[in-house]
């Protein structure tokens, strides 16, 4: 039983992680909005805390593990750059400082699998020892490179604190940037290119978080399904047809609706989850096809079957509680 604080309540990852972790641990979810779904036995606090208040919370609750999910851009639209820097970079620094002062033993920070940058020189599957790209020019990755550097520096100076960075492949999360792109009626791809991409189901992402709490191994972990898929195939499996965009070939500007650098539509940035498999015992339960199928609208028969299954599970759980 560990006392865990999940910092950040927006997004399904926070909800699913709280739900799973609260089965074995004492969990508090901190955020500016109430959680978006049921969080099991976890408790929650709706507030925006400053440095001192955060330190007080960590001390009084004797938090051992802090999970840092409160980064703008993962679970919603990205505000202007200044706000993002203030929130992501400065917010992370403040949190790390509070953790150090409060004697937190483990810090888990969420990051992105595309932090390595898309490049024709990328190996087919990137391992964690490849240096990350710090000069991203667009979107959520622009501040994330800095956040990762700050976290890495902190980890190097404080060897007694286990610092884990979870580099997730883009999540199939309703509000994530890649999902927003995929939800458009015909997502634009770059003419003549079809990069392989990985998409991770939120449940798998939450399971990795539980594994990271239970087996405190430091360092970065790539988390992705092992088998990537061409982007065009992803779009087709969602029942749409990709639209080719020619413009980016000339001006190098991403097509509308694509929240990252245009290179991610051109080259692959696929990551190798072997380290997580070895040290955390984690593998993605949903392969890409299965994960994408969960987004499809169900046929009436499937809906009925899923309804029966969910009802039985719910009733069983209620019976156990009583």
Sort strands 196-197 and 229-230 into parallel, antiparallel or unpaired: antiparallel
Taking CB under 8 A as the binding criterion, the range among 64-72, 162-170, 263-271, 304-312 that sits at the site for another protein is 263-271
User: What is the edge-to-edge ordering of all strands in the sheet holding 26-31?
Assistant: 43-46, 26-31, 3-7, 65-68, 106-112, 162-168, 219-223
Of 21 and 291, which has the nearer Cβ to another protein? 291
Residue spans of beta strands (DSSP E) within 95-197: 106-112, 162-168, 188-190, 196-197
Which residues have C-beta within 8 Å of that of residue 265, sequence separation ≥ 6?
189, 190, 193, 195, 231, 248, 254, 255, 258
Taking CB under 8 A as the binding criterion, the range among 56-64, 94-102, 214-222, 224-232 that sits at the site for another protein is 224-232
Smallest gap from Cβ 130 to another protein, in A, equals 9
Sort strands 26-31 and 43-46 into parallel, antiparallel or unpaired: parallel
Task: Candidates 190, 213, 220, 280: give the one binding another protein (CB under 8 A).
Answer: 190
Taking CB under 8 A as the binding criterion, the range among 64-72, 90-98, 143-151, 222-230 that sits at the site for another protein is 222-230
Task: Candidates 80, 120, 318, 322: give the one binding another protein (CB under 8 A).
Answer: 120
Of 125 and 217, which has the nearer Cβ to another protein? 125
Residue with tokens 């088998």: 227
Taking CB under 8 A as the binding criterion, the range among 11-19, 136-144, 184-192, 208-216 that sits at the site for another protein is 184-192
Taking CB under 8 A as the binding criterion, the range among 2-10, 71-79, 102-110, 193-201 that sits at the site for another protein is 193-201
Smallest gap from Cβ 115 to another protein, in A, equals 18
Of 60 and 124, which has the nearer Cβ to another protein? 124
Of 35 and 228, which has the nearer Cβ to another protein? 228
Smallest gap from Cβ 226 to another protein, in A, equals 7
Of 147 and 196, which has the nearer Cβ to another protein? 196
Residue spans of beta strands (DSSP E) within 14-146: 26-31, 43-46, 65-68, 106-112
Smallest gap from Cβ 154 to another protein, in A, equals 29
At 211, give phi and psi (nearest 5°).
Answer: -60, -40
What is the rounded distance in angstroms from the CA atom of residue 105 to the CA atom of residue 107?
7
Of 12 and 196, which has the nearer Cβ to another protein? 196
Please list the helix, strand and coil fractions of the chain in percent, rounded to the nearest 5, in that order. Answer: 40, 15, 45
295 scored as a contact of another protein (CB under 8 A): no
Measured CA to CA in angstroms, residue 23 lies from 30, 79, 140, 190, 210 at distances of 18, 35, 32, 45, 10
Taking CB under 8 A as the binding criterion, the range among 12-20, 144-152, 205-213, 262-270 that sits at the site for another protein is 262-270
Count of residues touching another protein (by CB under 8 A): 30
Near another protein in 227-256, by CB under 8 A: 227-230, 232-239, 241, 249
Sort strands 43-46 and 65-68 into parallel, antiparallel or unpaired: unpaired
Near another protein in 31-90, by CB under 8 A: none
**3-class DSSP assignment, residue 205:** helix
What is the rounded distance in angstroms from the CA atom of residue 31 to the CA atom of residue 45?
7
Of 86 and 127, which has the nearer Cβ to another protein? 127
**3-class DSSP assignment, residue 171:** strand
Give the residues lining the site for another protein (CB under 8 A).
Answer: 120-125, 190-194, 196, 226-230, 232-239, 241, 249, 266-267, 270
């Amino acid at each position: 039983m560990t006392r865990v604080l999940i910092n950040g309540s927006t997004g399904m990852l926070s909800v699913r992680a709280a739900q799973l972790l609260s089965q074995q641990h004492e969990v508090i979810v901190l955020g500016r909005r109430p959680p978006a779904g049921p969080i099991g036995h976890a408790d929650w606090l709706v507030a925006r805390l400053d440095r001192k208040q955060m330190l007080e919370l960590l001390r009084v609750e004797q938090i051992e593990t802090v999970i840092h999910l409160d980064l703008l851009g993962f679970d919603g639209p990205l505000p202007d750059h200044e706000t993002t820097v203030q929130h992501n970079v400065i917010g992370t620094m403040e949190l790390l400082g509070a953790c150090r002062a409060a004697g937190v033993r483990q810090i888990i920070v969420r990051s992105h699998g595309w932090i390595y940058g898309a490049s024709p020189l990328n190996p087919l599957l990137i391992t964690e020892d490849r240096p990350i790209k710090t000069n991203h020019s667009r979107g959520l990755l622009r501040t994330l490179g800095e956040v990762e550097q700050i976290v890495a520096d902190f980890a190097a100076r404080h060897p007694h604190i286990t610092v884990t960075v979870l580099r997730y492949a883009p999540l199939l999360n309703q509000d994530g940037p890649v999902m927003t792109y995929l939800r458009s009626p015909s997502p634009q791809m770059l003419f003549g290119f079809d990069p392989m991409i990985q998409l991770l189901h939120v449940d798998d992402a939450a399971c990795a978080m539980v594994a990271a709490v239970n087996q405190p191994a430091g360092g970065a972990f790539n988390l992705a399904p092992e088998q990537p898929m061409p982007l065009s195939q992803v779009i087709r499996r969602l029942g749409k047809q990709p639209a080719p965009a020619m413009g980016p070939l000339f001006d190098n500007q991403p097509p509308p609706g694509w929240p990252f650098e245009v290179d991610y539509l051109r080259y692959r940035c696929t990551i190798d989850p072997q380290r997580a498999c070895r040290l955390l015992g984690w593998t993605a339960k949903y392969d890409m096809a299965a994960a994408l199928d969960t987004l499809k609208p169900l046929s009436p028969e499937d809906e009925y079957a899923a309804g029966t299954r969910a009802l039985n599970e719910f009733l069983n759980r209620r019976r156990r509680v009583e």
